[in-house]
Amino acid sequence: METPIEFAEIEAPDEHARSAAIALHGNLVKPAGSLGRLEDLGVWIAACQGQSPPRPFSRPRVIVFAGDHGIAAKGISAYPPEVTAQLLGTMLTGGAAVNVLAAAAGASVRVVDMAVDTETSAMRAVSEFKVRRGSGSIDVEDALTGDEVLAAVRAGMRIADAEVDGGADLLVAGDLGIGNSTPASVLVAALTGSEPVAVVGRGSGIDDTTWMRKATAVRDALRRARAVLADPLALLRTATGADIAAMAGFLAQAAVRRTPVVLDGLVVTAAALVAEELAPGARRWWVAGQLTGEPAHALALEHLDLGALLDLDVRLGEGTGAVAALPLLAMAARVLAEMTTHEQSGVSGPLTPAPAS
């Protein structure tokens, strides 16, 4: 068993604010329920903030956790492992997809190098929490040592604390790493009781031969993961990497800090499965930004009982799908804060049925 990491008890979002938001929606100048899931989303935001109407988000933050994975050397991706460091460099100069989408959505981006297989000077500014270069090949060995997994989870917790203390009121977790959908698929299979063929998708756009190699890697890693399934930290040590372990700590600690999070795709949602194991109830502080085409992603969302806001087939990672959903959160909050009520506008409400004679 790994040395335990203690998370504070997760408090539920505020029920009084939730009830007030539901009541307010019933008084706005629209038929009840006519804005569909936007109404549910606004109610969730109000509950997370503990006030109705909710306030606009002032500092949405995207945190991208980057890391390489030893399993990538087994030919399970359409891209070579060195692409992780290259993409990280692009992200740091503002040219990646998440940079562009976040700017459009009014969010800022922070990149954290947890385990990228490089030591170039350009990366040192984002390597404060770096645990190691890459990870063990999870089909035959542990991804991390016991000390490394503890360091990674604690780094994620510290990052969440620092962001909330710095004023972030909405968080997005993103991922960057060639081959990272393989450990993510192992986590989903282990925690949902699924078989390898049910969780292995096309990831970066792999062909049939590469898919078969990936399925074999997931099968072999899953055998090792199932042996430690009862211990979330041991599961992270055995089957993930420092980036995914840090994400799990980040997502759990964000819930401790009562800060809402928008989940992205497969890798982040797999980390969320473990975060819920580490800190039961954390999922009440998360919303799923999107549904990807990865079969393991749908399984993970079902396990967490989270419905996705968007289905645009965005499978890039980086937090891009979650960032694409940020305008929906802004709209949902503003509807409650800015629409007028029937009383304020003088618009008649629905007819009251006549009593039965």
pLDDT tens digits along 180-220? 999 999 999 999 999 999 999 988 889 999 999 999 999 99
Strand 286-290 versus strand 108-115 pairing type: unpaired
Same domain, 28 and 126: no
- Which residues are bridge partners to 193 per DSSP? none
Q: In whole angstroms, what is the distance from residue 24 CA to residue 39 CA?
A: 10
Q: Write the pLDDT tens digit of every residue in 146-165.
A: 999 999 999 999 999 999 99
Does one domain contain both 311 and 276? yes
Q: Are 185 and 201 in contact (CB under 8 A)?
A: yes
d(C-alpha 327, C-alpha 56), whole Å = 11
The number of folded domains in the chain is 2
Predicted confidence band at 258 (pLDDT cuts at 50, 70, 90)? very high
Beta bridge partners of 341: 28
- Considering the domain architecture, whether residues 245 and 156 belong to the same structural domain is answered as yes
Q: Are residues 172 and 39 in the same domain?
A: no
> How many angstroms separate the CA atoms of 322 and 205, rounded?
20
Is the pLDDT score of 357 beyond 60? no
pLDDT of residue 351: 67
Phi and psi angles of residue 155, each rounded to the nearest 5 degrees, phi first? -65, -45
Query: 181: domain CATH number?
Result: 3.40.50.10210
Residue 10 lies inside a defined structural domain of this protein: no
Summarize the confidence of residues 164-171 as an average pLDDT.
98
Average pLDDT, whole number, for the chain?
A: 95
Active site residue 318: yes
CA distances from 41 to 14, 32, 56, 260 (A): 14, 15, 13, 12
Q: Residue 1: is its pLDDT beyond 60?
A: no
Q: Does 244 reside within a domain?
A: yes
CB atoms within 10 A of CB 25: 24
Q: Flag whether 3 is in a domain.
A: no
Q: Are residues 155 and 304 in the same domain?
A: yes
Give a yes or no: residue 5 inside a domain: no
User: Can you tell me the mean pLDDT for 124-150?
Assistant: 96
The pLDDT value recorded for residue 121 is: 72
Between the two ends of the chain, the Cα-to-Cα distance in Å is: 70
CA distances from 32 to 29, 43, 55 (A): 9, 13, 22
pLDDT at 2 over 70: no
Q: Are residues 142 and 202 in the same domain?
A: yes
Task: Compute the half-sphere exposure of residue 292: CA atoms within 13 Å on the CB side of its CA.
Answer: 29
| pLDDT at residue 353 is higher than 80 | no
Looking at the structure, do residues 149 and 36 belong to the same domain, yes or no?
no
Expressed as residue numbers, the domain containing 192 is 60-327
Secondary structure of 121-153 in the HEC alphabet? HHHHHHCCCCCCCCCCCCCCCCCCCHHHHHHHH
Beta partners for residue 173, in sequence order:
63
Residue 351 lies in a domain: no
- Cα angle for residues 260, 293, 237 (degrees, 5° grid): 60
What confidence tier does 14 reach under pLDDT thresholds 50, 70, 90? very high
Q: Are 44 and 68 part of one and the same domain?
A: no
Instruction: Give the per-residue pLDDT at 352.
Output: 63
Same domain, 219 and 186: yes
Residue 356 pLDDT: 63
The reply to whether 144 falls in a domain is: yes
pTM for the whole structure: 0.95
Residue pointed to by tokens 């016991």: 146
Tell me: pLDDT of 130 over 90: yes
Pick the closest to residue 44 from 67, 63, 25, 62 (CA basis): 25
Predicted confidence band at 125 (pLDDT cuts at 50, 70, 90)?
A: confident
Backbone angles phi, psi at 63, to 5 degrees: -115, 115
Q: Are residues 242 and 288 in the same domain?
A: yes
Phi, psi of 324 (to 5 degrees): -65, -25
309 within domain boundaries? yes
Residue 350 in any domain: the answer is: no
Do residues 43 and 165 share a domain? no
Same domain for 118 and 42, yes or no, is no
Contacts of 53 (CB under 8 A, 6+ apart): 21, 24, 46, 333, 336, 337
Handedness of CA 325, 326, 327, 329 (dihedral sign): positive
The whole-angstrom separation of Cα 147 and Cα 279 is 20
User: Which residue among the candidates 39, 148, 277, 318 is catalytic per the annotation?
Assistant: 318
Helices (H) and strands (E) in the chain, counts: 15, 6
